[in-house]
């Protein structure tokens, strides 16, 4: 398995971006008095807390397997994305409350020009860091980095909407537009939170590998059928960056154990080539014995 301890540098990058954008967006709010920009600053506070949690969980996930955790600590990443999802919900509630208050008590905006310039600078930082985290998340199959990247991109689009609304208020003078956009921001980030919480729950519940990865495993196994072997009881599960695959391979009873084992090694190596870092467990059985086809596990898949 590749050393994943280096992934913490991306969490530090996210923390730096969050601190910078909190300062800039708070400054933009103080200059303009826009509740939309205040909501944007609140989301950056969530980004900061999420980045700190990500740093902690990435550090835990990088620990090697031990006697108490024979399969490693990779599932710690699901706690990070789950916690970030909960934090986003809290931020959405705060934003909605501030927006409703401003909707009931409209206030004119001030220093809009310089405030928008500061807000644009903060959004540019988030966009750059989000792209870096997303590439790293996909490369290393890290749900923590992907969750952080998607949250930052949500923040970017939120900022675009807020900036547009503040500019529109300055041009039209229609004050309710500012809190209405803030409410739209709250709804948008709630949707992001739902996605993160759903994916975290699936991971903690041992969801199967994505369909395309399962198809890759089936393709490898099917390629050996013309050699007189079959397989069944194929199961997969995802644990953050790691994939786990198990199956039963049925070979002719006249084969030697060495020949069957050699084929299993070859199959496992091919699966690991198409799914780097996967953990493969296989059981060798005689093809002629009817008992070999029995599978008492959950949701058996027969081939």
Query: For the packed helices 143-172 and 112-140, what is the interaxial angle rounded to 10 degrees?
Result: 160
Read off the pTM. Answer: 0.60
198: number of Cβ within 10 Å: 13
What is the reported pLDDT for 301? 46
Domain layout of the chain by residue ranges: 5-204, 211-293
pLDDT of residue 36: 73
CATH of domain 211-293: 3.30.70.1350
Task: Quote the distance between the C-alpha of residue 199 and its chain's center.
Answer: 7
Mean pLDDT by 10 residues, the chain (303 residues): 68 91 89 79 80 82 74 72 78 80 80 83 92 87 79 79 80 83 80 79 75 92 90 83 85 90 92 87 84 62 44
Query: Reduced to 3 states, what is the DSSP secondary structure of residue 159?
Result: helix
Task: Answer for the pair 110, 33: CB distance below 8 angstroms, yes or no.
Answer: yes
Tell me, what's the pLDDT at 131?
92
Return the pLDDT at 300.
47
Q: Rounded distance, CA 152 to CA 128, Å?
A: 10
**What CATH topology corresponds to 5-204?**
Alpha-lytic protease prodomain-like (1.20.1510)
**275 close to 217: Cβ distance less than 8 angstroms:** yes
């Amino acid at each position: 398995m590749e050393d994943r301890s280096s992934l913490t540098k991306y969490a530090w990058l996210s923390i730096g971006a969050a601190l910078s954008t909190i300062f800039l967006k708070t400054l933009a709010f103080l200059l303009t008095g826009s509740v939309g920009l205040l909501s944007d600053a609140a989301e950056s506070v969530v980004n900061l807390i999420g980045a700190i949690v990500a740093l902690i969980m990435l550090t835990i996930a990088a620990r090697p397997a031990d006697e108490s955790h024979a399969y490693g600590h990779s599932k710690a990443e699901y706690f990070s994305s789950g916690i970030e999802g909960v934090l986003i919900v809290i931020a959405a509630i705060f934003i909605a409350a501030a927006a409703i208050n401003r909707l009931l008590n409209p206030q004119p905006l001030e220093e809009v020009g310089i405030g928008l310039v500061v807000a644009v600078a903060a959004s540019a930082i988030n966009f750059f860091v989000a792209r870096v985290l997303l590439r790293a998340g996909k490369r290393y199959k890290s749900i923590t980095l992907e969750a952080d990247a998607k949250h930052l991109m949500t923040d970017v689009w939120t900022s675009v909407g807020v900036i547009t609304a503040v500019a529109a208020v300055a041009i039209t003078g229609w004050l309710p537009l500012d809190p209405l956009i803030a409410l739209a921001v709250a709804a948008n980030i709630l949707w992001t939170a739902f996605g993160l919480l759903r994916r975290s729950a699936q991971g903690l519940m041992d969801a199967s590998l994505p369909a395309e990865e399962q198809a890759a495993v089936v393709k490898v196994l099917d390629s050996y059928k013309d050699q007189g072997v079959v397989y069944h009881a194929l199961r997969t599960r995802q644990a953050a960056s790691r994939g786990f695959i198990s199956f039963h391979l049925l070979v002719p009873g006249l084969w030697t154990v060495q020949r069957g084992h050699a084929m299993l090694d070859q199959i496992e190596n091919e699966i690991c080539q198409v799914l780097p870092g996967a953990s493969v467990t296989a059981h060798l059985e005689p093809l002629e014995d009817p008992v070999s086809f029995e599978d008492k596990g959950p949701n058996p898949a027969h081939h």
